[in-house]
Structures are given as C-alpha cells and as structure tokens.
Amino acid sequence: MRDEIILNQNNPRQLEKLYRDNRPSFKAAFNELYPQLASNPLAEGWYQRLNFEGPNAVWGTPNERLFVIVASLLAGLIAKFPQLFSIDEEFFYSRNIGFIVFPALTAYFAWKNKVSAKAIAIVAGVFLLSLMYINYLPQNKSSDTLILACIHLPFWLWSVLGFTFGGGRLKDWKSRLGFLHYNGNLAVMTALLVISGVLVTAITINLFRLIGINIEDVYFGYVVVFGASALPLVATFFTQTQPTIVNKVSPLIANLFSPVVLVMLVVYLVATLFSGKDPYHDREFLLLFNALLVGVMALIFFSVTGSHTGTKNATQVLILFLLSAVTILVNGVVLSAVLFRISEWGITPNRAAVLGANLLMLTHLIIVAFRLFGALTRRADLSLVSRSIALFLPVYSIWSAVVVFLFPVLFGFK
C-alpha cells in the first residue's frame, strides 16, 4: 500500500480507488508516509480528510442535548396526562396522540433552524387551535367523521413539522425534499432504537425477576411510556448530529427493497386474481389495498429523495419506474372499487375520504412516473422527479386539513 500511495501521490482518482479498496490499510500507510508528502497539497487534503475530528460529532452541543432531554421529559409527561388527571385513556390517546410527538419535534427544528418569531407564533397558533378543536368534537364512538379527524390530525401536524423543518419557508421545494429524506432516516433510526429498547427491556425485567422483584408495572408505566414518547425526538437528534452515517442507511434500504417489493407486488396482484377476493365487495380487502398503496408510494419517494445528487443508475431508475407503474395499477383498482361502492351504497365520510386521497395519490403517481420515464430515457434529469415529489406535498397537507376540520361539519358530525 505504501508503494502504491507514493507512486500515485499526484493521481487523485487512483488514490480514491486505493482508499475505497482498503480504508484501514490506506489510512495507516498514508499517516506513516505523511511527513515526507507534507509539501504536496493533495497529500495535505488527504491527511485532513483522514484525521479530521469535528467537535461534538456524536452528541451535538450542550444546549442541544439539554433541549432534547427537557423536551423528551415534557413529551413523556403529556403521555401520562390520563393517569395524572384522571382522563379517559381512550378519549385522550385517540385525539391527542399527535400532540405527544409533534410539538417536541416542531420545537426542536424551530429552535435549531432559528425560525422567525412570526413563524413560531403561527405554528403555536395552529397547534393550539388544532388541540382545542379535536378535543371539543362531540364524543360519539360510532362517528365516522370523528374517527377520520383523529386519523388525519397527525398528518396535519406532520405538515406543520415540515414547515418548521424548512425554516418557515413555504415555497422552498428543496427543504420539502430534505424533509422527506429526514423522514426516511427517522424511520430507520426509530426502528433501530425500538429493537435496542426491546432488548434492554427484556434483559432488565428478567434480571430483576431472577432476584424475586417484579418491576413490570412500574417499568412499563414509566420507563416505557417516557421512552416511547421521547423516541421520535431522540431518533431525530441522532439523524441531525450524525448525518454522514444515518444518511447512507435509508437510501440503501430503499434501494435494496425496491426490486423485492416490485416482485412481491406483481406476484400479489396475480395471486389476487385467483384468490376469489376483490376490493369491490370486501371492505377489509379494500383497506389492505390502500395500506399497500401508501407503503409502496413511501418506498418510491424515499428511494428518489435518498439521492440528493440525482446519480441513480439506469437499473435503479427502471425499477422505480416499473414500481410506480404497478402502483398506478393498484391505485386504479382501489379507485374503481371506491367509485363502485359509492354508486351502489351512496357517499359516506369514509368513502369520500378514501376517494379524495386516492385521486390525489393517482395524480401524484402519474406525474412521478412520467418524470421517471423521462429520466430513464435520458430526456430529463432525476432531480425533476424529486421536484415533482416535493411540489405535491402541500396538496396532501391541505387534504388532511379538509378531512380534519371540514368533514365533521359537512357530514353533520356523523
């Protein structure tokens, strides 16, 4: 390795190849040779690259750590409100689950991105009005509009989080793209932390059980509740303080799973034809199709937004195009099933919500597929695919607000 470094000390491409082939050996050999290569500007750049250690690289700044700890404790405290104030748990959690997670995340990005006081006031007002509205809706367990409002409220709060993530800029499509990329990283980091938490929980409970102490009630009532409430914020903290590591994970997972999901989706659709089930008469099957549609769309979006440079190879673009084409087919089946059910049994809040969401997703998928086809045929850059994904996000936000705030009124709170 030493001889190859000396021989190629003025060849940046070959040095990069040597480094990627065997990074530990390259670093050790280069550091030994550095004194005799110090006069070479290229060698100086490599030395700084190999030995640079940024301050607080893992744990962020002291103020950031303190913010995360305090916000996590507050989130856990909110989650304990039913026990602290004798509130009905079903009432509280069904309506307020989003307010355990999103205020802490929104405050974190508002503080970290130095969002203006005006934008913070708007966000605080939106949160307060949403909190009052959802909790003052009439209590009716059979009300479809109440259930829809509770389901869509977290999506509305998620869009408010995206506003603060982008620094309070509504028209910056690149910040929306970064927000989607952050969500992919957050999902991966959250999954890793959940696995770690499950292992720690199992070990801790069983260790205490061995000495005759039963801590399940206390552990799940406090440690698990506070830990689960803090999980999104802690995972976000890791994604922001270790971007060079985390940013590589979600695109890798998306690229690995895209061809697998494509094959699975095609096989599933073929199997559906012979299963005797159809979404036209089977409501649960229709819901499954919708869940499948949302999951595949998320995979497509994360696969594209995972590459900010737009450097995916032709095979990856082809897989994404085929996946989007098959997803359009699935969306078409779901949409036709919803229209069939409306024509047969009339409009209901649930059918109206599913119809609107599927029309939006179908439109978005067609636009994305068109852009992917352009990238595949070299008539357009992959960055246009990313832009088409980002520009459509406010439409989903508006639709979630319509379902939360207008549907109960339009359908008479039924």
User: SS3 string of the chain?
Assistant: CHHHHHHCCCCHHHHHHHHHHCHHHHHHHHHHHHHHHCCCHHHHHHHHHHHCCCCCCCCCCHHHHHHHHHHHHHHHHHHCHHHHHCCCHHHHHHHHHHHHHHHHHHHHHHHHCCCCHHHHHHHHHHHHHHHHHHHHCCCCCCCHHHHHHHHHHHHHHHHHHHHHHCCCCCCCHHHHHHHHHHHHHHHHHHHHHHHHHHHHHHHHHHHHHHCCCCCHHHHHHHHHHHHHHHHHHHHHHHHHHCHHHHCCHHHHHHHHHHHHHHHHHHHHHHHHHHHCCCCCCCHHHHHHHHHHHHHHHHHHHHHHHCCCCCCCCHHHHHHHHHHHHHHHHHHHHHHHHHHHHHHHHCCCHHHHHHHHHHHHHHHHHHHHHHHHHHHHCCCCCHHHHHHHHHHCHHHHHHHHHHHHHHHHHHCCCC
Identify which has the larger pLDDT, 161 or 184: 161
**CB count in 10 Å sphere of residue 198:** 10
pLDDT of 309 reads 45
- Looking at residues 404-408, what average pLDDT do you find? 94
pLDDT of 185 reads 87
Residue 342 domain-assigned? yes
Closest CA to 102 of 138, 126, 135: 126
pLDDT-derived band at 54 (thresholds 50, 70, 90) equals low
Question: Structurally, how many domains does the chain consist of?
Answer: 3
Long-range own/partner contacts, residues 382-388 (CB < 8 A, 24 or more apart):
382/304, 382/307, 382/310, 382/311, 382/312, 382/317, 383/310, 385/304, 386/177, 386/304, 386/305, 386/308, 386/310, 387/173, 387/177
pLDDT of 6 reads 82
Domain boundary at 244, 271, 300, which? 244
pLDDT-derived band at 274 (thresholds 50, 70, 90) equals confident
Q: Are residues 234 and 315 in the same domain?
A: no
Q: What is the CA radius of gyration of the chain?
A: 25
Q: Flag whether pLDDT at 392 surpasses 50.
A: yes
pLDDT-derived band at 53 (thresholds 50, 70, 90) equals low
pLDDT-derived band at 307 (thresholds 50, 70, 90) equals low
Q: Flag whether pLDDT at 99 surpasses 90.
A: yes
Torsion of CA 389, 395, 398, 400, to 10 degrees: -60
Residue 398 domain-assigned? yes
Q: Flag whether pLDDT at 363 surpasses 50.
A: yes
Lowest mean pLDDT across 270-279, 362-371, 393-402: 270-279
Q: Are residues 41 and 96 in the same domain?
A: no
Q: Are residues 339 and 239 in the same domain?
A: no
Lowest mean pLDDT across 42-51, 73-82, 182-191: 42-51
Q: Are residues 222 and 304 in the same domain?
A: no
Q: Are residues 352 and 322 in the same domain?
A: yes
Average pLDDT for the chain:
86
pLDDT of 291 reads 83
Residue 400 domain-assigned? yes
Residue 56 domain-assigned? no
pLDDT-derived band at 74 (thresholds 50, 70, 90) equals very high
Residue 327 domain-assigned? yes
Of all residues in the chain, the percent with pLDDT exceeding 70 is 94
Lowest mean pLDDT across 22-26, 77-81, 148-152, 379-383: 379-383
- Looking at residues 347-375, what average pLDDT do you find? 91
Domain boundary at 214, 244, 274, which? 244
Q: Are residues 32 and 131 in the same domain?
A: no
Structural domain boundaries, residue 10: 2-51
pLDDT-derived band at 385 (thresholds 50, 70, 90) equals confident
Lowest mean pLDDT across 170-179, 223-232, 301-310: 301-310
pLDDT of 61 reads 78
- Looking at residues 214-222, what average pLDDT do you find? 91
Amino acid at 261: V
Domain boundary at 244, 278, 305, which? 244
Amino acid at 119: A
Distances (CA, A) of 256 to 123, 245, 291, 325: 37, 17, 21, 19
- Looking at residues 160-174, what average pLDDT do you find? 85
Q: Flag whether pLDDT at 231 surpasses 60.
A: yes
pLDDT of 56 reads 46
Calpha distance 161→110 (Å, rounded): 9
Identify which has the larger pLDDT, 344 or 169: 344
pLDDT of 308 reads 46
Residue 57 domain-assigned? no
pLDDT of 197 reads 93
**CB count in 10 Å sphere of residue 126:** 17
- Looking at residues 45-74, what average pLDDT do you find? 78
Lowest mean pLDDT across 32-46, 123-137, 394-408: 32-46
Query: Which of 46-55, 264-273, 350-359 is modeled with the greatest confidence?
Result: 350-359
Residue 289 domain-assigned? yes
- Looking at residues 103-107, what average pLDDT do you find? 95
Identify which has the larger pLDDT, 123 or 171: 123
